Amino acid sequence: MSEIKKYLAYEGRINIICAETTDLVEEARKLHDLSPVATAAFGRVLTMASIMSTRIKGDESITIQIKGNGPIGNITCVYNGLNEVKGFVGNPTVDLPLKENGKIDVGGAVGKDGFLYVIRDMKLKEQYVGVTPLLSGEIAEDFTKYFAESEQTPCVVALGVLVDKNGVKKAGGYFITLMPDAKEEDIEKLEKNLKVIPSVTEMLDSNKTLQEMAETITGDDNLMVMLGDIIPKYKCDCSKERFIKNVEKLSKDDIDKLYENGDTEIETVCQFCNKKYHIKRDEIKK
Ligand SMILES: [Zn+2]
């Protein structure tokens, strides 16, 4: 299942967005043939992109890039403004031993030296680009730091991907922000609760609904439902026409190089979904 819901807790003084992205992350795992650690790292970023998409206006798009110094290479994720995300990782087959606590070593795969970029295209002339140094490469902490430093938004971010031998068992996350009238006691209550609640994947794996999850996280069973029925998807919008357009932008020399050795067609692969397209020389000439 994949679904996002938004609630207000503590009589409207705290905002919480809860997401389940199991199907979405499984689709990404299959398309990119991701290793378990690549599934966990990429899945966390895809989940965050889906959550962030509910905080922006209509057709705005977001690109997230995580450039760490770990063996997974760069992680790129794009939200297209239509509840659809897509992306790719540098090294989809990266394999690392589990950490001492038995958890997948996402921080080790991403690396803690590097940067997190968020590029927001509001369809105006200028794009908004936010950047912060990574904290741990574990993704959720890096986004918490990003929001605090780059968007002046103190928040709580939790992201989790549970992988078993069949693929993605559960994936999801939550994002909490304070409304301007939040009280000191609200923050204390929330912090106290966050220390004792299960992880995102534990909650999803025990079949909690998103509302039950939000109730557990906040300790408030009088939530106000703000937004429902958002179904985020992993979807690529590539087409042969788009690839032909890209080849057309190259110089004549470069196009000739593509077709050297007398080949009459070239093969292109979409990096977002691994779909292959064969482009004939005639199609470019046209
Ligand atoms: Zn594609």
What is the β-pairing status of strands 233-234 and 84-89? parallel
Beta bridge partners of 267: 278
For residue 168, report the distance from its CA to the centre of ligand 1, in Å: 21
Tens of pLDDT, residues 22-51 = 999 999 999 999 999 999 999 999 999 999
Token duo for residue 44: 């966390």
How does DSSP assign 106-127, residue by residue? HHHHH-SSEEEEEEEE-SSSSP
As separate numbers, helices (DSSP H) first and strands (DSSP E) second, the chain gives 10, 13
Share of the chain above pLDDT 70, in %: 98
Q: CB of 90 within 8 A of CB of 34?
A: no
Q: Is 128 left (phi over 0), alpha (psi -120 to 50) or beta?
A: beta
For residue 272, report the distance from its CA to the centre of ligand 1, in Å: 5
Q: CB of 73 within 8 A of CB of 137?
A: no
For residue 275, report the distance from its CA to the centre of ligand 1, in Å: 6
For residue 33, report the distance from its CA to the centre of ligand 1, in Å: 14
- Give 18's DSSP letter: E
Name residues whose C-beta falls within 8 Å of residue 240's C-beta, 6 or more positions apart in sequence. Answer: 277, 279
Q: CB of 140 within 8 A of CB of 173?
A: yes
Mean pLDDT of 166-182: 95
For residue 239, report the distance from its CA to the centre of ligand 1, in Å: 7
For residue 107, report the distance from its CA to the centre of ligand 1, in Å: 28
Q: Which residues surround ligand 1, an ion (CB under 5 A)?
A: 236, 238, 270, 272-273, 275
For residue 276, report the distance from its CA to the centre of ligand 1, in Å: 8
Q: Which of 144, 162, 151, 53 is nearest to 106 (CA)?
A: 162
- 264: Cα separation from own chain's centroid: 38
For residue 48, report the distance from its CA to the centre of ligand 1, in Å: 21
Tens of pLDDT, residues 176-231 = 999 999 999 999 999 999 999 999 999 999 999 999 999 999 999 999 998 767 89
Q: Identify the band that residue 243 occupies on the pLDDT scale cut at 50, 70 and 90.
A: confident
For residue 66, report the distance from its CA to the centre of ligand 1, in Å: 20
